[in-house]
Each structure stands twice: as C-alpha cells, then as structure tokens.
Structure 1
Amino acid sequence: MPKKLKLILTNIAILLIGILLIELCFGGWFSSSNQLRNLGIIKDAKFEFDVSHLYDTNTPTITYTRDKFGLRGISTYNQPSTINILTVGGSTTDQRYLDDSQTWQEILEHELQKNGKNLHVSNAGVDGQSTYGHLKSTDIWFPKIEKLQPKIILFYVGINDFYTVNGDSKYDDIQQVENGGFKSNIKDKSALYNAYRKLKGMQKATKFEVGHRNINFSRVHYTKEVVVNEKLLEIYDEKNLKAFKTRIQKLIAYAESLNAIPIFMTQPTLHFKIRKGVVFGTEEIKYLEEKYAYNGLGYFKLLNKLNDAIREVSASELVIDFTNDETWNIMDFYDYFHMTPIGAKKLGKKIYTELDKRNLVK
C-alpha cells in the first residue's frame, strides 16, 4: 500500500475513533442526562450572573438555579409532585438573566398565594426552544420527571417560531415529530449534531438579534408603514402555519394526557408598540433567508398569523393575548424580546388576572 494512502487511511481511522469516543462520552446513547444536556436542559446547577450591562438594577448580581430535574422554581425545588402550574417556552420563559425571585413565574405564584390560592408554579423554559423543541421536551424530558402532574400547563410561544420559514423546513418537518425513526433518534442523542445545532442557533440568534443584549430604545425609530414581502406571507399561509398548528395540537394532546389544562400565551415584543389602537413598528428593514424583507409592522402582522393559528386549534378562552396589549413600554424590556424585572413583574400580575378572570385557578 502506498505510504500516502496508508497515511490518509490512518488519519481517517483516528478521526472516526475520536468521533466515536466523543459520542460515547458526551452523547445520549447510554446516558439520559447527556441526552437532556445536548437538548439544552440544564440540571442541578446554580449560577451567578452580572446583569448590570443589560438593565439598571440595585442588585447587579443575580442567581439562576435549576434543580436536579432541570426545572426552575423556589417553592418546587426538587419537588415535582408539588407543581400545579408548569410553564413551557423559550428564553422569555427561562429568563436566564433574572434572579430566581424575579421571574414572572415567581410573581404569578406570589399573586396566587396572596389571593388565597395555594398553587405552585415551575419554570421549564429552555433558551432558544420553539414549539418543535417543546414537543421534544414532552417526549424526552418531562416523562423522566417522576410525579410531574401539573393541573395547568402555560405555553408561552410564538417568537421563536417566527423565524422558522422555508429554509428551516427540514429541521421543522412535522413528520419527524409524528414518526420519529432512526434519523430523529440520532439527532436527539448525537453530541456532535447537537453541538452543531447549538452553534447554528447562536449564529441565528445573533443574526436576528434575539440574543440577550442591551438596547437603547431612545435611538430606535418606529413607523406606521408596513414592510413585508408578499412571498413571505404566502410561505406562512401555505407551509408554516399548517405545521405550526399541528405542533400546537400535539402540545394540547400532551397536556390533556396528563389531565392538565393547556393555556397558550401570545408574546409581546418591542419590535412594535400599540398606542390608542395605532400600531407602530421598528423602521429598520430585516430579511428572512436573505431575501424576504420585513420591518416591525411586518413582524407584527406575521406574529399575529401565528397567534391566530393557535386560536384556530385551541379553545378561545384558553388563549391569553399579550402580543396586542398596549401597556408594554421600554421599562419592561432590556432588548426587543427579554423582560427586565419590572416587565416580568407586570407580566406575572397580568397572567394571574387573566387566569382568575377565566376561573382557571381555584
């Protein structure tokens, strides 16, 4: 065998052995903990973060804690049997840079207790998750939490699904969710695939400015002029909404399998603001897939298409609309999507009011 060929084959063999060792050590093939970690589930951890660069606060160092089951919550810590309300969503549910005591879940629980309703709230938010990821949680994560039997599941969804357009169809293929299979199993368990997925997600978060950062809203210009590519509207109507509705239906089915009430909350963002019934959107034009233009009002239009899709498959009384709430302001957010402690407090109180008004918490 020629020396050059032998060298190439030797290097390939070393590379394959290295990949195998990485997968065996860090993949979820034999360890459910590794599988959950690869899917972004943090377990049994406590972090301290300096948040002074994100928003004004008298306590710049906050504590972020996850229990051994991967859940956030002070009163429910390591006690899943005490959870009455489980909250599911992405980074706006997780609230990575709010203290354990400042999340909207803790505010909601405080309001419940203050009004004589002895209910406990737990946070199952995962940074970056869309409804596709939430379905993975119901399949891979939640069944591993013994005695998890919430009475209500609050799904805080919409924003992360906004960016799922035609080019992401392979990742968001609903048949993968419905049928699973060999390919889906590899994606769930492979350490290398999930490292690639996370890097891709970080790149996407930077591109669409959904990562955590401070925004000086005094420099953001708003307009009443709508910019949204007609082809993008067509893609949403013909492809995205159909798959999104199927995922929502499956989340409803999961909640009902636990005899829990599935409640969906639509999401606010400062890409637009509503004043006296008039909607103003951010003026800056952005692009999906490098070719579909939209501005803040286009975003508002598309996000409400997702919200309407939720209403089509869920009981109207089980959908709480925060997207079209006029009271959100720049004190509530430190970037376009993530809330300050002030915003989280406002949201927690609003959620309590809406649940109580619907007679869902007793």
Structure 2
Amino acid sequence: MPKKLKLILINISILLIGILLIELCFGGWFSNSNQLSNLGIIKDAKFEFDVSHLYNTDTPTVTYTRDKYGLRGVSTYNQPEKINILTVGGSTTDQRYLDDSQTWQEILEKTYRDNGKEIYVSNAGVDGQSTYGHLKSTEIWFPKIEKLQPEIILFYVGINDFYRVNSDSKYDDIQELENSGGFMSQLKDKSVLYNVYRKLKGMQKATKFEVGHRKIDFSRVSYTKNEYVSEKLLEIYDEKNLKAFKARIQKLIAYSKSINATPIFITQPTLHYRIRNGVVYGTGATKYLEDTYGYNGIGYLKLLNKLNAAMKEVAGLKHIIDLTNDEEWNAIDFYDYYHNTPTGAKKLGAKIYQKLNELGFVK
C-alpha cells in the first residue's frame, strides 16, 4: 500500500474514532440528560443577565431559573404535580431576558390568583423551537417528567414556523414525522455533532431574519400601507408549508389529548406590522426567504395569518386565542420585533387570561 494512501487511511480512522468518542461521551445515545441538553433544554440552572442593552429598566439584572425538570416557574419549582397550565413555545415563551417574576406565565398565574383562583402555570418554552421542536418535547422531554399532568397546554406558536419555507418538492416533512422512529430521526435526536450543527445553523438564521435578541429603536423604523409579498412564496405556503404545519398541529393536539390535557393555541404578535382602526401598517423594508422570495411587513402578516388560519382549521375556533391581529400592541411592549419587554409580558399575560375567560376555560 502506498505510504500516502496509508497515511490518509490512518488519519480517517483517527477522525472516525474521535467522532465516535465525542458521540459516546456527549451524545444522547446512553444519557437522557445529554439528549435533552442537545435539544436545547436547560435543567437545574440559575443565571443572571444584564438586560440594560435591551430595554429601559430600574432593575437591569434579571434572574433566569430552570428547575431539575427543565421547567421555568416560581411557584411550581421542582413540583410538576402542581402544574395546571403548561406553556409550550419558543423564545417568546421562554423569555430568557425577563426576570422569573416578570414572565407572562407569572402574570397569568397572578391574575388567576387575584381573581380568587389557585391555578399554577409553568413555562416549558425553549429558545429557537418551532412546532418541530415542540413535538420532540412531547416525545423525549415531557414523558420523563413524573407527575406532570396539566389540565391545559398553551401552545404559543407561529413565528418560528414562519421561516420554515421549503421549495424542494423532494422534501416531505410529513413523511419525516410519520417515520419518527427511523434511523435518521434517532440520529437527529441523539447526535451531539448534528445538534451542534443545528444550533449553529439556527444562530445564522436568527441573525439573518432578525429574530435574535437585540434592541430596536422603533422610532426609526419606517412603516407603509403598501403590501408586498412574492406570489411564488404564497404558492409555496399554500401547497407545501400549510399542509405540513397542519400535520404538526394535529400531532400536538393528539399528544395533549393522550394525557387528558386541553390544547389551546395562541397566535403571536410582532412589530413587523401595526394595526390601527382596522388599517395595517407594515415595515417597509423588503425581506427574503430562501434568498429569493420577498415580502414586507404587511406581506409578513398575510403569511403569518395563513399559519394562523391553518391552526384554526385543525384545532377549532374554541381552542384558538388570536393575538396576532390585536390592535393594542405598541413599541413599549417589545424590545425587538418579537420579544416582549416586562410591560409587554404583563399585557400579554392579562390578555391570555381574558381570552381564556371568554373561551370558558376560566372556572
């Protein structure tokens, strides 16, 4: 065997052995804890963050706590058996840069208490998760939490699914969901290297689509009444994305019912648009999905409402809280296009309580 070929084979062997050792030590093949960590679920941790760069506050240092089960909640800390309402979503549910006492879950729970009702609300939000991630939570995370038996699961979803556009007809995520026990699914769930790649890709997308945490001066943002959205993008949403999104919503409903919980879906507001007296004003700058399909703020709302309509079709109107089309959101409620300030979280918690009451879920 030529020396050069032999050297190449030796290097490849060393590389493969290294990958194998990394997977065995840090992957989720043998450790449930590693598997949850790879999926972005933080357990038994307490952090302090300086948020003065994000919004104006008299208390610039906030505390962010997760219990040993990976859940966030002051009154339910390490006590999943107390949870009446479990909240599931991405970063707008997680609220990493709000204090434990300021999240909309805490406001919702306090509002119940102020109205003489002892209801406990817990936060299972995971930064960056879409409904794909929520399904993984129902498969991998929640079943491992003993005595978790919520009466209601609030799914605060839509924004992260908005960016999951796929124009490749060979890709079928419905089929992937139906074959969740296959090798590729196991690899994605348990491989530490795949999940490092996934997180890096997610960070890149967060930067590209401005969904990461940052302060925005909305007085400098230009809004327009003119709609712009690519016709091809509308076609892709109608033919591919909505069908797959409905399949994921159906699975979330099925999981909720399997544990005797009532699923309620909350549509998400953003400041890519504002609605005043029925008139929509959207951000004027053109953004692109897949670097090809353009839209502005009003086009964004049109696409987001397609996802919302799909949720309503699958879940039914009695299980939907529509906050996307609420007219009362202001710049003071957000520090970027998506994430709430403490003021916004307080408004959000109060609105969810009100809507739950209107739907008959407050007893």
- Normalization by structure 2: what TM-score? 0.98
Deviation of 1:268 after TM superposition, in Å, equals 0.2
Deviation of 1:120 after TM superposition, in Å, equals 0.1
Instruction: Calculate percent identity across the aligned residue pairs.
Output: 78
Change (3 A) 1:145 1:211: same
Deviation of 1:358 after TM superposition, in Å, equals 1.9
Equivalent-residue separation in structure 1 for 2:170 and 2:210 (angstroms): 23
Q: Which residue of 1 aligns with 2:239?
A: 238
1:149 pairs with 2:149: yes
CA shift digits 1:51-78 (9 cap, x unpaired): 0000000000000000000000000000
Alignment check: 8 A CA contact 1:43 1:71 kept? yes
Q: Which residue of 1 aligns with 2:95?
A: 95
Equivalent-residue separation in structure 1 for 2:169 and 2:20 (angstroms): 29
Structure 2: 5+ residue stretches without partners: none
Change (3 A) 1:253 1:208: same
CA shift digits 1:290-325 (9 cap, x unpaired): 110000000000000000001101121110000000
Change (3 A) 1:170 1:361: farther
Task: Letter of the 1:46 partner, please give it.
Answer: K
Deviation of 1:207 after TM superposition, in Å, equals 0.3
Deviation of 1:3 after TM superposition, in Å, equals 2.0
1:127 pairs with 2:148: no
Q: Which residue of 2 aligns with 1:75?
A: 75
Deviation of 1:9 after TM superposition, in Å, equals 1.2
Change (3 A) 1:169 1:157: farther
2:87 aligned counterpart, secondary structure: strand
Alignment check: 8 A CA contact 1:87 1:122 kept? yes
Q: Which residue of 2 aligns with 1:223?
A: 224
Deviation of 1:2 after TM superposition, in Å, equals 2.2
1:331 aligned counterpart, secondary structure: helix
- Normalization by structure 1: what TM-score? 0.98
Equivalent-residue separation in structure 2 for 1:171 and 1:32 (angstroms): 29
Alignment check: 8 A CA contact 1:135 1:177 kept? no
Alignment check: 8 A CA contact 2:216 2:336 kept? yes
1:100-179 superposed matches below 5 A: 100-167=100-167, 173-179=173-179
Change (3 A) 1:260 1:171: farther
Task: Letter of the 2:2 partner, please give it.
Answer: P
Q: Which residue of 1 aligns with 2:37?
A: 37
Change (3 A) 1:171 1:186: farther
Equivalent-residue separation in structure 2 for 1:201 and 1:42 (angstroms): 17
Q: Which residue of 2 aligns with 1:51?
A: 51
CA shift digits 1:80-123 (9 cap, x unpaired): 10000000000000001000000000000000111111110000
Alignment check: 8 A CA contact 1:68 1:78 kept? yes
Alignment check: 8 A CA contact 1:226 1:298 kept? yes
1:1-362 superposed matches below 5 A: 1-167=1-167, 173-180=173-180, 181-362=182-363
Alignment check: 8 A CA contact 2:211 2:338 kept? yes
Deviation of 1:167 after TM superposition, in Å, equals 5.0
Name the stretch that deviates more: 178-187 or 104-113: 178-187
Change (3 A) 1:109 1:168: farther
Deviation of 1:177 after TM superposition, in Å, equals 1.7
Task: Letter of the 1:37 partner, please give it.
Answer: S
CA shift digits 1:268-288 (9 cap, x unpaired): 000000011100000000110
Deviation of 1:182 after TM superposition, in Å, equals 1.0
Change (3 A) 1:170 1:26: farther
Equivalent-residue separation in structure 1 for 2:347 and 2:115 (angstroms): 17
Alignment check: 8 A CA contact 1:132 1:172 kept? no
Change (3 A) 1:171 1:106: farther
Structure 1: 5+ residue stretches without partners: none
